[in-house]
Amino acid sequence: MGLEYAFLRRGPLTMAPSQLGIFTRSDATQDRANLEFHVQPLSLDKFGDPLHRFPAFTMSVCNLRPTSRGTIRLKSADAATAPAIQPQYLSTEEDRTVAADSIRVARRIVSRPALAPYRPEEILPGPAVGNDDASLATAAGNVGTTIFHPVGTAKMGLPSDPMAVVDARLRVIGIDGLRVVDASIMPTITSGNTNSPAIMIGEKGAAMILEDARA
């Protein structure tokens, strides 16, 4: 596969890993989509591991409006020292319920007649995992991973907000001459990929910097 792409510029590596996206609701009580599926024509044990050598696809499900909140804390005054990051995934009952429901949705999709000729078999979390909330939430915690879209570690807000880091012009509150211009300033995560909003934040931040320089 790698040689095919390197020499012929064709084959699976010419395509994005996620070739199908789905926005849907975890259950009928949701008034709008709260799940995003990324479907890839491949499977592996975890990111960075070799691909499995059997035909498979992966349905990665993202909770678009999680209620769990992690932390990022400095461990040292040395800027070269990595901070302590605690994502605290699935730390709320709401997120565990959505995680369980998301696996149920994936199972329903795979059980549809259109896929029956391919006789799909569930690898993870596996058919031995029951369909009850507790079993599915535990399974989600065991197989879940990051989708690489963290936000909100330097949220924008009012100076009176003790959790706010930057003001409406992305200036660090209480420090002159310093701005933060990236996805960390989002007060809440967007219901979808963060790439486009991050680009918008960068463009708006650049415009603000130019405006202030000309003032």
Which residue numbers are catalytic?
Answer: 149
The pair of three-digit structure tokens given for residue 165, joined into one six-digit string: 């880091």
Q: How far apart are the C-alpha atoms of 114 and 120, rounded to whole Å?
A: 11
User: Exposed, middle or buried, 150 (CB in 10 Å: 0-12/13-18/19+)?
Assistant: middle
Name every residue whose Cβ is closer than 8 Å to that of residue 66 and which is 6 or more positions away in sequence: 92, 95, 98, 189
Q: How far apart are the C-alpha atoms of 189 and 149, rounded to whole Å?
A: 9
Q: What is the dihedral of CA 56, 46, 34, 68, to 10 degrees?
A: 160
Bridge partners, residue 51, by sequence: 44
Give the torsion sign (CA, 72, 76, 82, 84): negative
Cα distance between the two ends of the chain: 55
Q: How far apart are the C-alpha atoms of 165 and 174, rounded to whole Å?
A: 9
